[in-house]
Amino acid sequence: MPITFQLDGGGGDPVAPRAGQLATERGLVPTPAFMPVGTLASVKALTPEEVTATGAHILLVNAYHLYLRPGHQLIESLGGVHRFMAWDGPILSDSGGYQVFSLAKLMRVNDEGVRFRSHIDGTEHHYTPEIAMQIQRDLGVDIAMPLDHVLPWDASFVEQREAAERTLHWFDRCRAFESAPSPFAIVQGGIDEELRRWHARELAARQAPGYAIGGLSVGETKADQYSITEIVCAELPTDRPRYLMGVGSPEDLVQAIARGVDMFDCVLPTRLGRTGSLFTDNGRINIRGARFRDQASTVDPSCDCVTCTNYSLAYLHHLFRNEELLGYRLASIHNLRYLHRLCKRMREAILHGVFDSVSDEFLARYKPSDQTVRTDQRARWGSRSQS
């Protein structure tokens, strides 16, 4: 069954907020939608049933990591990645282009592909667009991503142009690979507006089943992130899903939805959860703080997740102060549920024609984390798709 997408509301303008439905063989995904990241076929510390209970309709795995360990051929022999991880809903796989360039040792790239040494054991590999598609075909995913050439946001224009051209060439090769899922296209180009427009137009002309915006949330300013997102969405077909890669902060989701984005993924909710940082409508709270030691209330009385309906702030504080593993799980569950509820809230606002007022109210109330904190986290975490 081919991937299809239909709009249920909004989307009158290429950069307007939209509510839609992404249809795959394994089910429908109402959009806007957040995809939990299960890099190694596991959303860290959570069972598939728990991930489903947070409201997830689709999740992400990483082809690069599964290629290196345990191997895509082994997973294929065991019935594919859905059976391997006991997830029966749709799965999108990141080709691993970002990881090849951020994690691999002694990496060398040319138009043919990338030669690199594994960050795990130092073995040498030649990763090509065709191999990326073969891996995703063998995994049996529902939505595949092409190999793309990712650069730091502040790379020179010449470097960004070369990478964008290579990404275009690699997309054509990925799409031509026999028996593989038809891949989404990935728009690159750094923060150069004209380069992004050109790349988006070139890919739009190829009529991919969906479009991803790559190379953002990697160190550029929020203003640049929002501006480039809007510029790219303005050039993309309105009847195809748009996916902003690696973005998971609540305020960024709302800002991107306002500009016409449909899908998101990020390690942020689960990584933050494991550090004791929890999403609320007022911003993040650090449950390790002494002020929560004797608080009988819950993280969010309006939240229906298992964490908020059963456990007090004082109990969560106790778990984290004592490094109890249950704390990491409960915090991750809440953060995922928060983002799914936020997407649903924005979807309903779009369908009822009140998105502007609902989003304005949210953004006025939500206090983003400090830029210094975000920069420090990015430096420590490194990869967009390691959960």
The per-residue pLDDT for 180 is 86
Q: How far is 294 from 308, CA to CA, in rounded Å?
A: 16
The answer to whether the CB of 175 falls within 8 A of the CB of 205 is no
94 is a catalytic site residue: yes
The 10s digit of each residue's pLDDT in 278-310 is 999 999 999 999 999 999 999 999 999 999 999
Residue 174, SS3?
A: helix
Which of 148, 262, 265, 300 is flagged as catalytic?
A: 265
pLDDT at 385: 44
Q: Packing angle between helix 157-176 and helix 129-139, nearest 10 degrees?
A: 50
Confidence of residue 386 (pLDDT cuts 50, 70, 90): low
Query: Does the pLDDT at position 114 exceed 90?
Result: yes
pLDDT at 103: 83
Helix 268-275 with 325-351: angle, nearest 10 deg:
140
> Exactly one of 94, 142, 148, 252 is catalytic; which is it?
94
The structural domains of the chain, ordered by start, are 4-265 (3.20.20.105), 273-365 (no CATH)
Give the range with max mean pLDDT: 95-109, 152-166, 367-381.
152-166
In the annotation, is 294 catalytic?
no
pLDDT in tens, 17-34: 999 999 999 999 999 999
Full DSSP string of 269-315:
HHHHHHHTEEEETTEEEETTSGGGTT--S-S-TT--SHHHHH--HHH
Entry pTM = 0.95
Separation CA 145–CA 134 (nearest Å): 11
Q: Which two tokens stand for residue 10?
A: 């909004």
| Element housing 4 (H / E) | strand 4-10
